[in-house]
Each structure stands twice: as C-alpha cells, then as structure tokens.
Structure 1
Amino acid sequence: MTHAHFAPGRRTFLASMGAAAALLPFAGAGRAEGTSTTRRYVGLYFNGAWDVLLGPDPRDPAQSYDGIDLGTDALAAAYRDPIPVMMAGQEVLWGPTMASLAPHADVLTLFRGVNMNTVAHPAGRAYVNTFIPPSGVVPKGDSMGTRMAAAGAYGDLILPNVSIGMPTFNLVFPPDVTGVRLDRATEMTDLLEPLGDMPLSEATLAALRMAQDEVEGCVHEQYGRPPVEDLQIARDRMRQLLSNGYGESFDLAADADLKARYGITNPGASNDPAVIAATVWRLLETGLSRTITAQLQTGLDTHGPEWATQQPQRQQAGFDALAALLTDLRQDDPNLDDTTVVVFSEFARTPKINGRGGRDHHFAGSVLVFGGGLRRGVCGATLEQTLGLAAIDVATGQPDPAGRVLLPEDIGATLAHAAGLSHDPFRTDPLLDWIA
C-alpha cells in the first residue's frame, strides 16, 4: 500500500516535515556513487501553453512555410525576428522572447519536438509535474521536485522541498521531502512569522517546546511505531525557521540590489516572474532549500487577438526573470555542474492562427534544461514546414525517419539518471548519449 503525501500548508508544515517519516522507505539511499549530495534543482513552469514559435522553436520569417502562419504583421517589431545563438558549436535560432537567455546558451540543453500527448490543460499540467504519463488528468508518481529533493543529503535543510503555485506529490519518498507548498511567492514572509498575534515570553515558549517534545503522537496506533525522532526533526526545523532571522532575506522591498538585478518594480506583486525568481534565489542562497518548483509565468492561453501582445510580453517577462536567476546561480556554480534548472509548459500552440487571431493547443512542445549534468545543445526537432512532431535519432538529437519522437518521460528518466536516481518509474531508458 502506498500513501500519497500532498503539499502541506503552513499549519500542517510540522506534520509534513516528519510526523510519518518512519512509514516509508528511504528511496534516496540508492544514490549512485560519486553523485553530488548538494545538487540544486529548480523546476519552472509557464502556465497556459507557450507559443514555441516565439521562444524555443522559431522559424525564419524570411522564408515561407506550408503549414505555419508566423503572424509577423500582428507582432510588435521587437518580437518579429528570431535571434541566432551558438549552442555546442552550432548556430541555432531562438525566438525573440528568449534574447536575455543568450549569455546562458553554453549551459543549455534544448529539447524540441517533445510529444506532450495531450492538448488538455489539466492533463498537461499533471504530465509536466511528474514527467510520467498521467491517468487522465490525475498525476501518477512523484513530483519531479520531490524526486530530486531525495537525490542528495537534505538533513541540513529546513525546507528540503518547496513548491510555489503548483501541486506537489510524494508517493514513495520519505515524508521529509514532501514539498511545502506556497500558493504565492510572497507567502514566504508569512511562513516566517509566528502564528500568534501576541509575542510570547521566553518562559512560555520554553514550556511549549517542552510540552511538544513530550508528545510522541498517535501515529503509532495505526502504524505500530511512534515516530518520535521524526517529530523531533520537524519541530527542530520549524524552530530554526522561525528563530534564525530569515525574514530579512525575503523582504525584497528592502534590497535595492536584488530589485535591480531582477527588475522588480513592485515587490508585493505575487504573480510577477521577477518576484518569484528572486524568491527562488533567496531560498537557495539562504540555504533553506536546494529544491524548488515554481509557477514562473501565467496567462499564456492566448486563443484570441491577445496572442499578439500578451503571449510575447509574458514569455519575455518569464525568460528575463529566468536569466536573472541563472546569473545568480552561476556565481558559485559557473557551469551548473551541481545545479539543474528545468523550464517547461504543458504543451505548445498551433502553427496556424485561428479565426480569432490567436493560436490553439498543439502537441509539439519544448523543454529547457540548464545544467543537470547533460550534454549541451539541441536534442529533438519539429517538422520544418508544419511544426509537427518529428522522429529523431536519440543519440544525435537530429531528425531521423527511422528514429522516434521524444516524450516527457525520456527527459524525466534522463534527469533522474544524471542525478544518480533510478529511472525505473519513468518506464523508459534514459538518453545516455545526452548525459555529460
């Protein structure tokens, strides 16, 4: 029997961090020899389905395509022309919304033509949460963040796994790595405040701590053993979180340098990709966490004329925030040898513009992986004339009619294997030729 551990809120934080840790096997114990125990993982989600023609998989507007409407005339001048970028010694076109990421092309593996196998938002969101095919709209398996949190040592972390604006799932890993879920990045400041309105005296706090530590809990009545040690770990983590002065680190308004680096104009704007990316950075910089999954951008489901304005502007805002985060991450890990940043959306948008002036849903998506122990370059492709799914030679990443189409689980298995984890849950072999 397996037990699903869903993301706790603030008031269930203590329980989620350890109250049942003794109930499940320590899946991280099977790490491969030599893998880093301090690897950082960041998963960033663009909600609504991005238009890959404006970002990861563009076309040259100087050419004509049988099955693609570029919609150039409807776009502002800044979004009409793709940019050439060198990746692994090859010139590659990127969409104009990704221009700020060009300095980080040397650490990017760009997966194109990934068959998302759905054009329904709930199913697509479930798929990219776990990188395992869902059962209808129900996610199967563990969230990728949960899996990666278990890949390294996490005993020194107060928040081993954080999820911002996304559901998080844990089926087989220790409860310690179940994601602490924040609905919004700005809730981090709330998490760092004591629950009571009135400050308690030190004597009262000491009495409360003593009473808490004497409680063994009732979990043993169902499972046969009192998880005393796990409860104590959870309590210690919460006490550290509330007493170590972390609040200042998440007061974005007070940090002029951080605001300038990320382009933050309103630190209280909870949906601003800049605020979200800066919060991710602070979670990593403070050492509170090494695994964070976040919904970085929203509002990309552009079926109507808003496609021409909102889609490129919102993509660019998300990629600009990502670029700032990568710059900070590379200060202490220049080649991202011990850092994995995965960027994804639930699927793509149609190559043809519909009668309303927008784009509908399309299977052929893209996934960006910065670092992750992967070989740099482009793996995968879409059909040049139609943006359709293309079979590839998975060893070279180039189109090959005798090959096969990439799937999200190919990427999930590859990331897991590169991190020293089992790839068995993905039911496919990793792309070994793409592991550095």
Structure 2
Amino acid sequence: MNDSPGWAVPGPSPSDGDRPGAPDGRDGSEGAQPPAQQPPAGGPKWSAEQPPPGEWSSPGSPQAPTTPKTPQPPHRQPQPGAGWGSYAGPQGGQGPYGSAGGPGQWGKPPAAKPGVIPLRPLDLGEILDGAVATMRTHWRSVLPITLVVATVVQVITVLVQKYTLSDLPVSSDAEPSLRELVDTLGGSMLALVANGFIQLIGTIVATAMLTMIFSRAVLGQSSSIGTAWREARPQLLRLLGLTLLLGVGGALLVGVLIAPGIAMGNIAVGLLGGFAALPLLLWLGIKFSLASPALMLEKSSVPTALRRSSRLVQGSWWRIFGITALTGLITTFVSAIIVWPLTIAGLAIGLADAGPTALENGTAASGWAALILSAVGAVIAQTITMPIQSGVTVLLYVDQRIRREALDLELARAAGLENYGSDPAAPATGG
C-alpha cells in the first residue's frame, strides 16, 4: 500500500538476500559486523545479547532486566532480516516463536495491538478472530458492501432461474424438436454466462473494498465505504484481470491434461488426466492465494502480484492451505445452516400449492416461493461469510510479511507507535 503511511513498496523477501543490511554485504558496505552487533537497517534493533528463555518481562516493567544473567545460546540469536516470528535453529533453520528449544521454552513476546491483530506472527485463532473482530467493529462499512453485492447478485440469479432455466424441458408427452432444444439450451447458457459475469464483478468489487477496510483495521483505523471505494477503484481492472487469468489458466491446465484422452477416445485416460489436474489446481490455488491482497495493497501489476504471492507462500504452503481449508469449512457450514432451512421451506410451500407432481415436473423448485426464500438465505449467508473469507486472506498476507519482512515495524510506525521494536522498555500498546 504505497500511498498509506508505513506501507512501503515491498522488496524481495529476506530469503533472497536483497534486504538492506544483509550480512553478506550486498548493500554496498564492506566489513559488515556480525548480526548480534549490527542490526539490519529498518529492522528491530536487537541487543548484542538476549535474555535466556523464561526471563522475558513485560515492557515497561520496573523489574525488567537490562542485561541478561547468562549469555544467549548462539543458535537462538535472532538473525537480521528474519523479522518477527523467526529464530535461527541449531542447523540454521527458521521457525515461529515458541518453537526454539521445544514448546513453551520461548513464548511470544509482548506485541502492540493498535487494531484487530497483535503486531507479531499470528496463529490460527488470531487470524480468525481478527477477521470476525473487523466485521463486528467496522460493521457499518463491511456489512453494507457485502449486503448490496449479495442482493444484486441474488436478484439477477432468481430472474435467470425463473425465466430462463424454467424453460428447459423436464418431462413432456411430446418430445421437443432438435431446434427447440438448441434454442432453449443456447438461451439458457447465455443467461448463465451473463449471471456468472455479474457474480464475478460483484465479488471482485466486494473483495477489493473489503481488502482496504481490513488493511486499515489492522492499524486501528476505520474506513468509510466511500474511502474504501476510492482506494480500491484504481486497482479494480487489474484485480479483474488477475481473477480471469487464474480462472482461464486453471481451465487450460485441465484441458491440456484431459486432451490426450479425448484425442484417443479413451475415457479412462481422460479421467486419469482430470484426476491429475486436481492436485495441481489445488497447489497453484494456494500458491497464488495471496496475489489479490498483494495487488491491492502494494498497488502492483498482475505479474508482480503473482510473483509476490509465490514468494510469500514459499515454505508455508501447508500452513496456508490448512487455514484456508478450515475457513472454507467454517463458512460452508454457516451458509448451510442459513440457506437449507429456507430452501426446504420454499420447496414445502411450492409442494403445498402445486401438489406432489411439482417435484416431477420441476415447478416446486422454480416457483417464486422457493426461489425467493432460497435467495434470501443466500443473501444472509454471503453477507456474513464473504467478509470472513476476505479477512482471512488479507490477514494471512499480513502475517506472512511480518514473518518474512518484519512488516510489524512498518505497521507500528503507521499506527503512531514511536520507537516500536527498538527499545525493550517501550510500551507495547498504542495510545
């Protein structure tokens, strides 16, 4: 987010060795001091020696020790560029807080929380809680966006289902002619494509605006609908291009893998190619899952956003997959609880009006009662679940940048916390 204070244009991750102050001297300096003596520029100013595990005290406490009682073991010394949430393991590996030397031996340090999340590496509960807290705290901005988008999409969907899909022959005494079938199917497909495009546009607009609202909520700042629209509007076309590129790319991947089976006329080969495409699509979906917030918050291009997402996800694929999958299960369960009772009630009303034969000819599902009640349930469900899904994606992006690029320092400065990360005795909470 280049135009917001403290959100500088992100460079390569520390693993690439391009961050300023890297100990290999790539910033042009010669004879750089060891990490424990010379902290990286812009990073947390670690002291030469760290207190041993179990002796971290609250910032600002009068009993806080100024010097460690015993030297910190070398393999736990924080490394430059690693940012919050990393440590150097015995073999030089990196891991989250609480992992060094075993569980519980090095807990999470106190962190500022100017907004909905603490400024340090996040766990699953903090990511979900941050998404829900934003929706609860900033509901005047979040809920109207998702409510309007969901309502417009569902109204169009109801009209398409009522006046287009209901024309498809379900059962008839007189078999329709080939021309009638082609005309009916052609009109239905055209309506479905138009309905899908409207849903795509609505989802993109809602996602873009919600991303801006969540980015401000991290800093403890509110954002009106107008402000979110003005910040998101310049990137909408790029976000549309990114979404279409990912969709078309996925379709091409499936087509390439099932093409041999189609060419050979072998169904088994085609099915094998389709099954092989599923794990590839899943892997690529998670690999590029952070491209949307990277594009919106960094004001970058589509290729740059894809590269940024790939770099941020690298080494954390399973963690991001698990959080994303769990969020999907939660939102699906919530949607089912809301939608299915209303859908069943609509079908019951249709059966009461048209009789048992309504199930055979399809009029029960295409009646106004069933369509309207199902749409009402979908509007309520999307209004609730869309902010949670968008919020989890944005907070995953922020969490990965905190872990890899020490973004928490930039966020603290943007939130008005002076000297955050440079003085162990500085207050850990914002004013």
Normalised by the shorter chain, which TM-score bucket?
under 0.3
Q: Of Structure 1 and Structure 2, which has the larger fraction of its residues in strand?
A: 1
Q: Of Structure 1 and Structure 2, which has the larger fraction of its residues in helix?
A: 2
TM-score by length of structure 2 reads 0.24
Structure scoring higher RCO (CA < 8 A, sep ≥ 6) equals 1
**Rg: which structure is higher?**
2
